Amino acid sequence: MFTVLIPARLASTRLPRKPLADIAGKPMVVRVAERAARSGAARVVVAADSPEIVDACAAHGVQALLTRADHASGSDRLAEVCTLLGLEDGHVVVNVQGDEPLIDPQLIDAVAALLTAHPEVPMGTAAHAIERVEDFLDPNVVKVVCDARGLAHYFSRAPIPHARDHAPGVAWWHGGAAQGAAPLRHIGIYSYRAGFLRAFTRLAPAPTEQVEALEQLRALWHGHGIAVHRSARAPGAGVDTPADLERMRRQFA
């Protein structure tokens, strides 16, 4: 049994009031919650920073809780909701981003299941194979390298693993011998045990986290493992800009 938590923040620099953006008659955060409800989650809860979001969710039958508005990150907001819900330390929660109305319910289930398959780690996430050199070199595409157990070695905006004997603009990993080290694109979905999520927000930020601007590196820095589910396909695109929103509206229409 697990709970899906969806952080929703009204302020957004690239797309103001993003959680409430209309997609085919419903706010985007409601579309995300409805999609997440198709997973095996026992409950789907929106973690909101504004009464407007809470009211919009309630109007569509989606549970939402009002959190403090001054949280530094979505993880901090979700940790507060874990406490508000009274979740036990061992309860599994899945962080689904509030701007992904096409999130695959099966991906949510798979990321939740990581913590059963890997009882030694407190956190899970997902990745899929990189196919294009352009994505491998793009710093906006986060890469992850895993060990033999399927746990994360490191996350980076840099093209990792680096193939010493190949030119940077060559898709070296399409050769059969390289498949075990083929690059993976990180997917921004996480599972946690509730007790760890609460503790995570009290850990000191990691130097690597600050350099790469990747919060998950804090867990690795402090010695906590992250299990990685390898998805067979890329997830549906999220919504970050007005152009993304128009594209999503066309898809729902």
Q: Which residue has the tokens 């599972």?
A: 191
- Residue 173: the pLDDT is 87
For the chain, list the domains and their CATH numbers.
Answer: 2-125+186-252 (3.90.550.10)
For residue 95, the cross-strand partners are 5, 190
DSSP for 222-234 reads TT--EEEEEESSP
- On the 0-12 / 13-18 / 19+ scale of CB atoms within 10 A, 116 is exposed
Mean pLDDT in consecutive groups of 10 residues from the start of the chain, 253 residues: 94 84 95 97 96 97 93 89 96 96 96 97 97 93 96 97 85 74 94 96 96 97 98 85 92 87
Extract the tokens encoding 155. 């996350």
pLDDT of residue 176: 61
Residue-level pLDDT at 175: 67
Q: Tell me what pLDDT residue 71 has.
A: 86
DSSP state of 31: H
Using H for helix, E for strand and C for coil, what is the string for 72-107? CCHHHHHHHHHHHHCCCCCCEEEECCCCCCCCCHHH
Of 189, 78, 185, residue with least CA distance to 125: 189
31 contacts 102 by C-beta, under 8 angstroms: no
CB 247: neighbour CB atoms within 10 A?
12
Decide: pTM greater than 0.85.
Answer: yes
Q: Residue 177's pLDDT is what?
A: 59
| Strand, helix or coil for residue 34 | helix
Query: b/e map of 130-155 (b: 16 or more CB within 10 Å)?
Result: beebeebeeeebbbbbbeeebbbebb
